[in-house]
Amino acid sequence: MKKLVLPCLITALCAGLPAYAETVEAKGSSEEVSIQESGSLLKARKLAKKAADRDAVMAALKNRMNISKNNPAVQEAVDDLVKQLSDNLLTSYSTDGDLVTAKSVLKAEASEVYELARSIDGLISSKALAKIVFIIDEYFGVGTMLEAGQPLSTEIKFHQDKSSASSSSKAAASASSSKDAIAVAASSKSAVASSDSASISARDKGSFSASEQRGVAVADRYGNSGAAASDTRVAGSRDASLDASRKSSFAGSQQSSFAGAASSERADASSSSSASASSKKDVTDFSFKQTFAGIDNAKPSDTSAALIGKGLEEVAKKFGLEYVPEKDIRTEKGARLLISDMERQGKFDAITQKASRQPYMANYIVYGTAVMNTTGKTASGDVTCSGALGLTSYNVGTNSGLVSKKLTREAQGKVDQECRQRLAAALSEDAAQAISLAATKELQLKAVQGESFYVFLHSAKKIKASIMLAFPDLLKSISKEMQEDPSKDLSWSVKAKEGFINKLRALVAQIAEENPDAKNARIIVKGGQIAVSIDGSAPKGF
């Protein structure tokens, strides 16, 4: 099979690709409003619409954010957001006697809604973006510059068989009266048949025939005579057809014959004669084999050809995510590990922990494997392709799972690369949305309720008394709640708000600067456990 190399994307090609904007649609309704109590039908409808619009906007926000509708500050902020989204709200009314109800539908681009929500004070408890490291392996099936259905290679095997046969006849006579007879016969036949198959749509028929007849007769002055005749016929036909596949066949036959006879009568003479004729058979056979591109031989792409990773970087912000480049987070001894390598070598925990430290400082890490293949062509000639992206994500602080999901998409484009670019863009949007829904809700909840950690001091050497005495107060200054563990010395259960790990890291850096004996001090995070290592050594199990 021919080896094909996918070309790099052309700038002009990518520029013409459409954006995949996510649309949010949310519905809201009002309670019954009395016309009489409101003063008029118009006023009753106005009150019902306000309630339905607010309900629709709240429904949209709660899909992604942790928002309490009972908070007065939130109610005021939602009313402000309703005004800004008024052009995107459609309301219908229902009247039953004295009572009016309203139903509103919000349809808007998701990025517009959530960017507006983040800009309004009091609406959300935390405006921090969820920092994500995406590690995505992309596998591409065979991409060919040939037209779909055309073979990658053609193999023809040829065989020709020739054989000959001969025949002879003799006649002899003597005496006063003699008779000579000479006969010659010759014939030849040949045939050719062939067939092939390929994905071509065509039909061709042709046929031919010809014949030739000749005769001759002679006589001499002695009374001798002779006659000869020849009859040659040739016929051939060709039929090539295809319906989703191509079958070609050719059959030809040729037959020629010659027959001659001569006789003579004379006295006092003797004569003998002989004649021979031979025929040759010429048979040609050949086989026809074609190889087509497969779609089940996807290979991992290198970073320069990765499409989904680039797509995630482009759309992350509008989904409330901060894209953190993976850099060399999965590079070991100069080799870039695939997710399959990490699984085989048990590297997931180590890489997840790396994501929580400098230079990444991420909240979450997302592992994904995408497989995309070209699937065929539309009736209009566009290339079609499909793909699946499996995602698994973790909170790097607690090592707890965030979301696990499999996304599937289909796309089409003028050429193979355009189809894949559109497919990757769609999968990128879907992935960003799936992660954003879970991550933003979790961050909002932590901002309100706080996050729990277990913090303890560690050193392979003796810890100075001044550090042991000062540390609890320093820890309390950055915590929302703190309780000492009675079963273990120098250990505390802490509930803290957003940014606690960074604050603790700064606190430990201060300790290292002020105490020469603690110049190597650092924090080591494993899930919800944080070791404050005074001498820089790692506790057992970390």
**Average pLDDT across the chain, whole number:** 74
The confidence band for 542, taking pLDDT boundaries of 50, 70 and 90, is confident
User: Tokens representing 82?
Assistant: 């309703």
- The helix or strand, by DSSP H or E, that contains position 131, with its residue range, turns out to be strand 130-140
| Residue 154, pLDDT score | 63
Instruction: Determine what percent of the chain is predicted with pLDDT higher than 90.
Output: 39
Residue 18, pLDDT score: 41
CB proximity list for 45: less than 8 A, separation 6 or greater: 33, 93, 100, 102
pLDDT at 94: 95
Report residue 243 as tokens: 């319906």
Specify whether the CB–CB gap between 313 and 321 falls below 8 A: no
| 379/146 Cα distance (integer angstroms) | 17
Q: What is the mean predicted confidence (pLDDT) over 493-497?
A: 88
Distance from C-alpha of 245 to C-alpha of 201, rounded to nearest angstrom: 7
Q: Which helix (H) or strand (E) is 474 found in, with range?
A: helix 465-477
Q: Average pLDDT of 493-507? A: 87
The CA distance from 216 to 227, in Å, is: 6
Q: Is pLDDT of 105 > 90?
A: yes
Taking residues 472-487, what's their average pLDDT?
92
Q: How far apart are CA 23 and CA 522, in angstroms?
A: 45
pLDDT score of 338: 92
Cβ(225)–Cβ(265) below 8 Å: no
pLDDT score of 182: 39
SS3 272: strand
- Inform me whether the pLDDT recorded for 28 exceeds 70: yes
Between 409 and 8, the more confident residue is: 409
Phi then psi dihedrals of residue 182, to 5 deg: -125, 130
Q: How confident is the model at residue 431 (pLDDT cuts 50, 70, 90)?
A: very high
More reliable by pLDDT, 69 or 402: 402
Would you mind telling me the total number of residues written for the chain in this entry?
542
pLDDT for 185 beyond 60: no
- pLDDT tier for residue 142 given thresholds of 50, 70 and 90: low
Tally Cβ neighbours within 10 Å of residue 211.
Answer: 9
Whether 3 shows a pLDDT value over 50: the answer reads no
